[in-house]
Amino acid sequence: MKDASPATAPKTFYLKDYTPFGYDAESVHLTFRLAPETTRVISRIRFAPKPDAADRTFFLHGEELKLISAKIDGQAVTPELVEGGLKCEVPGAPFTWEAEVEINPAGNTALEGLYMSNRMYCTQCEAEGFRKITYYPDRPDVMSTFTVRIEGDEPVMLSNGNPMGQGEGWAEWHDPWPKPAYLFALVAGDLVNHPGSFTTKSGREVELNIWVRPGDEHKCAFGMEALKKSMKWDEDVYGLEYDLDLFNIVAVDDFNMGAMENKGLNIFNSSCVLASPETSTDANFERIEAIIAHEYFHNWTGNRITCRDWFQLCLKEGLTVFRDAQFTADMRSEPVKRIEDVIALRARQFPEDNGPLAHPPRPEQFQEINNFYTATVYEKGAEVIGMLKRLVGDENYYKALKLYFERHDGQACTIEDWLKVFEDATGRGLSQFKLWYSQAGTPRLKVSEDYADGTYTLTFEQSTPPTPGQPDKAPRVIPVAVGLLSPNGDEVRGTEVLELTEAKQSFTYQGLASKPVPSILREFSAPVILERETSNAERAFLLAHDTDPFNRWEAGNALAKEVRVAMVLDGAAPDAAYLDALEKLVRDDDQDPAFRALVLTPPSQSDIAQTLFDRGHTPDPQKIYDAAETFTQTLAQQLETSLPRLYAATTVDGPYAPDAEGAGKRALNGRILSLLTRLDGGEQAARQYQAADNMTQQYAALGALLKAENGEAQSQAFFKQWQDDRLVMDKWFALQIACAAPEKTAATAAALTRHPLFSMKNPNRFRAVFGALAGHHAGFHHASGEGYQLLADNLIALDKLNPQTTARMCAAFQTWKRYDAGRQSLIRAQLTRIAGTDGLSRDTTEMVTRILDA
């Protein structure tokens, strides 16, 4: 019998422990002999000891590798195999390391390293997947040039950089740009390409390709246009040009994340690149355009300048998200993009920042870095850059960026390097600003006002609640964009950025004829929670008159929340003045349809729950759901006579095009249809379903019908029509759950896991079902606890196959401390059950432990 081995506590890595690797990797040669279960990887790496290295330990990472042989300068050696890699005695002068290993791509369901997806070989190396391909110093500060030979019988065999040659059964690639191993990529399989080309501003001809499985060719055109627009935009706005002769994108069906910026060979989750009017919604098109841009922009912010270590992840991600948001704003609508981003920030980042998983944009410790590809690192990381830009001004921002690229091209950098560039370019000290990178938690900003004799004073008090490991926080620099309106609706002071640096600070405005109405935090100038005692009448005034479109929407959003909170707490009827304001806005054809659609979009029920919790109440998910239903029903009735006209007026005629204008109109049309369905039971929706020639309208109609519990026939028809299209089937799975009544949500999800097309191995399908379950606030948190149990059962099962996706989805439980004792104990029981599972992955262990520690 085997001794029970003591459970090894997962190792924690700390930012403060950073030490450079003792060797430079001067060049890397890799040969892949492809075979589904027994791929051989032969590496030949030239290493040179660093003259000034403090630590000369020769440790190479390696996981799940079968070592066949190792040599140094041609002589066989026997390295010591240790936890997570190997160690070896090496010469004190430059030497050549060679190793042959065997790996099993077909058995790789974790989708990290080299794996197979639909008979195609592909790789995912960020963050630490390369160590599952061969022994290597798998850390981003080790940068080298890669030459790759692929041997196999796949028709198409790709790697990074430029092609060097190919023949029967082989292909060779060389990437001249030194890069960390996380940017390595290899793809091989039966693929077809959608070609394109781009001429850079200095005249370099770049060949572009989107590679897909045969049958998906018709879904590439939009992605190709998005890529060309991105290349042009980065030249125009940042002066950044592409640096290879070839840029390849590959679509794969099984992928843990959205996409990956591998040098010259981006790999995309097929859901983030394939698009056609018949199969993709307007929201899909917008997201695809943004992700293509995001990965392309990484070529400079991430690849040419990379991260010294993974604690610096937001250096590349925050900046690249910020850049892709600028791009989308330029391509589409600036205010609409800003509103969408703030909605997403509040839905994904605020719960993280205000719960057990809170961490700073630059974390100081981790057990599993994959658990830190978070909304805080990405989206809050981008918000921090937005604040920096606002504080230094546009001109200084671009001056600093220019210096960043000049000074750090080819380097692996830190947040200190980044901020130093701004200090040097602008002469402004940023030591207090840096707190945004090291402090977790969302600051609360309390505002009070005073008016006497023409002088108006705004007083701000900032504080940030405790977060794990950070009980106290110092005041931060907070840029607050403020404008003042006179009671008749005129703007009496245009937008001005007030810079808060202290815990409490006042600003005065002189010479005002009457007490103004302030419009605070315009454009959402800082990721904070504004706490201000104000009336619904003032909110309605701002919704009607503010010159800042973001704050106009924000006033409506705050009103919507207040009205629902009152309905939940006091059983109040929907506020009549708010209903009137909404009606007026919806019927005002001079207003942008996209904006009207956003104002009509109800605040998320999870957001209402958080608001109630913040005000000292225990949120009841069912009551929040009921209030939302009552509100929508009342609004539909109030609008009854105008709905048919509005529906007709917002129906887009002519052939479908995924542009912002059409999308805005269809978004409004979709909202009108859902209101209409409440009154006609689905007559109009059924007609729209029948007539739809694009997925946006087909999907909106099906959603409205399912919500009315009158869509069985259409759901079956939808299945029949689209059963061979994986991406559309993901929508079908998700929509049935999203539209189910709370008491039926878990059972609907459970039934779908028994559907023949459900698969644990495809992250998109798993997320379609369980993302929809977790996203249905009242359904997931139904008092029966069935939702919790179903998710836990499936997380336990998925962890054996795919720890990374399992761990991410544990976040569904992160808000558990908001709810009543009964729900808390149900959730605690499930979290404890997950934590106690034998052989639970490091990824999931870390997440569940952090959530339980709340």
Residues belonging to the active site: 295
- Residue 465 binds which entry of Zn ion, ligand 0A1, none, with Cβ cut-offs from 5 to 8 Å by kind? none
| Complete DSSP assignment for 639-687 | HTTTHHHHHHHHPPPSS----HHHHHHHHHHHHHHHHHHHHHTTHHHHH
CB of 247 to Zn ion, least distance (A): 16
CB of 378 to Zn ion, least distance (A): 7
Q: Which helix (H) or strand (E) holds 1?
A: none
Angle at 496 between CA 494 and CA 497, to 5 degrees: 160
Alpha-carbon gap, residue 478 to 475, rounded angstroms: 9
In this complex, which beta carbon is closest to ligand 0A1, that of residue 264 or of residue 785?
A: 264
Alpha-carbon gap, residue 62 to 70, rounded angstroms: 13
CB of 316 to Zn ion, least distance (A): 7
- Residue 257 binds which entry of Zn ion, ligand 0A1, none, with Cβ cut-offs from 5 to 8 Å by kind? ligand 0A1
In this complex, which beta carbon is closest to ligand 0A1, that of residue 321 or of residue 831?
A: 321
DSSP state of 206: E
Of 317, 799, 843, 846, the residue at the interface with ligand 0A1 (CB under 6 A) is 317
Alpha-carbon gap, residue 270 to 258, rounded angstroms: 8
Alpha-carbon gap, residue 822 to 388, rounded angstroms: 44
Taking CB under 6 A as the rule, does residue 260 contact ligand 0A1?
yes
Listed in sequence order, the residues at least 6 apart from 354 whose beta carbon sits closer than 8 Å to its beta carbon are: 441, 442, 465, 610
Of 24, 98, 126, 725, the residue at the interface with ligand 0A1 (CB under 6 A) is 126
Question: Pattern of binders to Zn ion over 195-234, x per CB under 5 A?
Answer: ----------------------------------------
Sign of the torsion formed by the C-alpha atoms of 314, 320, 323 and 325? negative
**Residues near ligand 0A1 (CB under 6 A), total:** 14
Q: Where does this chain touch ligand 0A1 (CB under 6 A) — which range of 87-95, 258-266, 339-347, 735-743?
A: 258-266
**Scanning residues 373 to 412, which ones bind ligand 0A1 (CB under 6 A)?**
373
CB of 128 to ligand 0A1, least distance (A): 8
Taking CB under 6 A as the rule, does residue 259 contact ligand 0A1?
yes
Residue nearest ligand 0A1 by beta-carbon distance: 257
Q: How far is CA 383 from CA 342, 378, 380, 442, 554, in A?
A: 10, 9, 5, 12, 17
Of 39, 117, 123, 124, the residue at the interface with ligand 0A1 (CB under 6 A) is 124
Angle at 750 between CA 745 and CA 752, to 5 degrees: 100
Tokens of 752: 């779908």
Alpha-carbon gap, residue 699 to 728, rounded angstroms: 10
In this complex, which beta carbon is closest to ligand 0A1, that of residue 306 or of residue 638?
A: 306
CB of 753 to ligand 0A1, least distance (A): 25
Of 43, 370, 694, 714, the residue at the interface with ligand 0A1 (CB under 6 A) is 370
Q: How far is CA 35 from CA 24, 150, 152, in A?
A: 31, 11, 7
- Residue 160 binds which entry of Zn ion, ligand 0A1, none, with Cβ cut-offs from 5 to 8 Å by kind? none
**Scanning residues 247 to 276, which ones bind Zn ion (CB under 5 A)?**
none
CB of 238 to ligand 0A1, least distance (A): 18
In this complex, which beta carbon is closest to ligand 0A1, that of residue 294 or of residue 332?
A: 294
**Residues near Zn ion (CB under 5 A), total:** 2
In this complex, which beta carbon is closest to ligand 0A1, that of residue 677 or of residue 805?
A: 805
- Residue 764 binds which entry of ligand 0A1, Zn ion, none, with Cβ cut-offs from 5 to 8 Å by kind? none
Contact between 361 and 374 (Cβ < 8 Å): no
In this complex, which beta carbon is closest to ligand 0A1, that of residue 258 or of residue 277?
A: 258
Q: How far is CA 535 from CA 306, 563, 578, in A?
A: 48, 12, 12
In this complex, which beta carbon is closest to ligand 0A1, that of residue 115 or of residue 722?
A: 115
CB of 794 to ligand 0A1, least distance (A): 21
Tokens of 833: 């059950």
Structure-token match 């001004």, residue found: 393
CB of 295 to Zn ion, least distance (A): 7
In this complex, which beta carbon is closest to Zn ion, that of residue 317 or of residue 523?
A: 317
- Residue 208 binds which entry of ligand 0A1, Zn ion, none, with Cβ cut-offs from 5 to 8 Å by kind? none
In this complex, which beta carbon is closest to ligand 0A1, that of residue 259 or of residue 597?
A: 259
- Residue 124 binds which entry of Zn ion, ligand 0A1, none, with Cβ cut-offs from 5 to 8 Å by kind? ligand 0A1
DSSP state of 332: S
- The count of other CB atoms within 10 Å of the CB of residue 514 is 12
**Scanning residues 197 to 256, which ones bind ligand 0A1 (CB under 6 A)?**
256
Q: Do you find a cis peptide bond into 127, omega within 30 degrees of 0?
A: yes
In this complex, which beta carbon is closest to ligand 0A1, that of residue 256 or of residue 525?
A: 256
Of 127, 336, 480, 482, the residue at the interface with ligand 0A1 (CB under 6 A) is 127
What 3-state DSSP class applies to 622?
A: helix
Question: Pattern of binders to Zn ion over 295-324, x per CB under 5 A?
Answer: ----------------------x--x----
- Residue 185 binds which entry of ligand 0A1, Zn ion, none, with Cβ cut-offs from 5 to 8 Å by kind? none
Alpha-carbon gap, residue 196 to 229, rounded angstroms: 12
CB of 294 to Zn ion, least distance (A): 6
HEC profile of 27-72 = EEEEEEECCCCCEEEEEEEEEEECCCCCCCCCEEECCCCEEEEEEE
Contact between 753 and 794 (Cβ < 8 Å): yes
Alpha-carbon gap, residue 252 to 249, rounded angstroms: 10
Of 70, 257, 392, 810, the residue at the interface with ligand 0A1 (CB under 6 A) is 257
CB of 128 to Zn ion, least distance (A): 16
Alpha-carbon gap, residue 528 to 462, rounded angstroms: 9
In this complex, which beta carbon is closest to ligand 0A1, that of residue 382 or of residue 563?
A: 382
Listed in sequence order, the residues at least 6 apart from 179 whose beta carbon sits closer than 8 Å to its beta carbon are: 143, 144, 145, 146, 160, 263, 303, 306
CB of 427 to Zn ion, least distance (A): 31
Tokens of 135: 């022994």
| Residue ranges in contact with Zn ion by CB under 5 A | 317, 320
| Residue ranges in contact with ligand 0A1 by CB under 6 A | 124, 126-127, 256-261, 294-295, 317, 370, 373
